[in-house]
Structure 1
Amino acid sequence: MCGRFALTATPAEFEDVLGVVEIEDFPPRFNIAPTQPIHVVVAGPRREPGSNRPDRVAMLARWGFVPSWVKDTRQFPLLINARSETAAGKSSFRAAMRHRRVLIPASGFYEWKREGTRKSQAYWVRPKTGGLIAFGGLMETYAEPGGSEIDTAAILTTAANSRIAHIHERMPVVIRPGHFREWLDCVRNEPRDVVPLMAPVEEEFFEAIPVSEKVNKVANTGPDVQEPLGPEMLQDARTDEKPRPDEGQLTLF
């Protein structure tokens, strides 16, 4: 699963990697949690030959997917992740998988290694080469009974590769830059056409760095949540019981 992630790239890096222009300035975010606003990149208006108009648009959505058919959000679970293997067949995600695939920019994500019924050691999982990556995501604009609308999103997950599997069995789907256009083009590419793009990344893509329990708290939003644990601190973390990361860590389907 993916229950927390970070986006610490600059707006210039964002524009360069994702192919969008004129994005509003934003601060680095080191501990993004469910229900918070996140950046998503969607396919924009199609470019005419010779036009400089961008074909990708960045916008904000709430991290927590709400299907259009939900009557009462208070009675509906928080969907922060969607299993890539089954999303096209699930009533919650079927329409979004067909019509509203998005890219979710990230610098990496956090995962907790489970021991028994508790989550103990936290890891900061980032690309070995650094830089900005894009998770495969789904978006839905939910119309509330009162008439207001809210854009919502979920991160697609896949089976963890061998480098991550010792921590957790799932990991986010990573869409490579060469496949951005294919992923976002929901007119030409049906869900079955993008199945190969949702395979786990190669083993050497990510590195997992043990970090302190600071990341467990939503209120901790500084760069210190990513500071690596030293050998002595790591040993202490493995021998002590740790509480579960706090609210919002739900994932279904």
Structure 2
Amino acid sequence: MCGRYTLLADELAILREFDIDEPIADYQPSYNVAPGQNVLAIIHDGKQKRAGYLRWGLVPSWADDEKIGYKMINARSETAHKKPSFRRPMSRKRCLIVADSFYEWKGDGKEKQPKRIQAVDREVFAFAGLWDKWERDDKKLFTCTILTKGANGFMQDIHHRMPIILPRGMQDAWIETGVQTPEEAHHFLESLNTVDLKAYNIGTYVNSAKNNDEGCIAPLA
């Protein structure tokens, strides 16, 4: 799964990586991005790529209650193309969720060791994501979820699931291909190569989403 991550990259580095022309409005780096928060995402509107903020936790357009979003922070890529909540976004509402590392907790007996996981040789990268628009009365929400898959060889020792990090060169392909069938989007994800990762141990300070400073990423001595 993916339940917490970081985005500390300089705004210019993000614009270069994703070939975005316009500045990112209200860009705010974060040491501890958590579900329910607004997260930086990139969509393609049919003409160009646009960067902006979506709330993390997908609320399907047909949902009666926006609280469903708290249960929808991740979508399993193996089944997303079959699920009512994700089929339509898989077809036409795919997005990039910008990050530069993510956190995972390795079980070790009764204790869980938090780790910060980064891409090798990548300052900033994108998770494969889905988004949707929800409207009720006068309220409008734009929300998203992160697609996950079974752990690769590196991650298996840490957790059995991991977020899908799009390889460089496949980021635009995920969002620019226009309308696809959910099955076509599923096959695209299945075809991706794995991005090389690295990790180091950090302290339990990161466990609280209220903590958002350098202490979250400080290596254990």
- Shared fold (TM-score greater than 0.5)? yes
Please give the secondary structure, in 1, of the residue aligned with 2:132.
strand
Aligned to 1:12: 12
Aligned to 1:24: 25
What are the residue-to-residue correspondences of 1:90-101 with 2, within 5 Å? Answer: 90-101=83-94
TM superposition shift of 1:68: 1.2
List, as ranges, runs of 4+ consecutive aligned residues in structure 1 with deviation greater than 3 Å.
74-77, 188-194, 196-203
Q: Pick from 181, 206, 214 the counterpart of residue 197 of structure 2.
A: 206
Larger radius of gyration: 1
TM-score, structure 2 as length reference: 0.91
User: Could you tell me how far apart the structure 2 residues matched to 1:228 and 1:209 are?
Assistant: 7
Q: Pick from 130, 155, 159 the counterpart of residue 138 of structure 1.
A: 130
What are the residue-to-residue correspondences of 1:29-178 with 2, within 5 Å? Answer: 29-46=30-47, 55-74=48-67, 77-115=70-108, 120-144=112-136, 146-178=137-169
Which letter maps to 1:132?
V
Which letter maps to 1:39?
L
TM superposition shift of 1:21: 1.8
Gaps of 5+ in 2: none
Q: Is the 8 A contact 1:175 1:198 kept in 2?
A: no
Q: Is the 8 A contact 2:20 2:49 kept in 1?
A: yes
TM superposition shift of 1:202: 3.4
Change (3 A) 1:139 1:197: same
Please give the secondary structure, in 1, of the residue aligned with 2:146.
strand
Greater mean alpha carbon deviation, residues 172-181 or residues 68-77:
68-77
TM-score, structure 1 as length reference: 0.80
Gaps of 5+ in 1: 47-54, 231-253
User: Could you tell me how far apart the structure 1 residues matched to 2:101 and 2:63 are?
Assistant: 31
Change (3 A) 1:2 1:226: same
User: Could you tell me how far apart the structure 2 residues matched to 1:201 and 1:168 are?
Assistant: 19
User: Could you tell me how far apart the structure 2 residues matched to 1:95 and 1:16 are?
Assistant: 30
Q: Is the 8 A contact 2:36 2:70 kept in 1?
A: no
RMSD of equivalent CA atoms: 2.0
Q: Is the 8 A contact 2:25 2:52 kept in 1?
A: no
Q: Identity across aligned pairs (percent)?
A: 33
Report the count of equivalent residues: 219
Please give the secondary structure, in 2, of the residue aligned with 1:228.
coil
More strand by share: 2
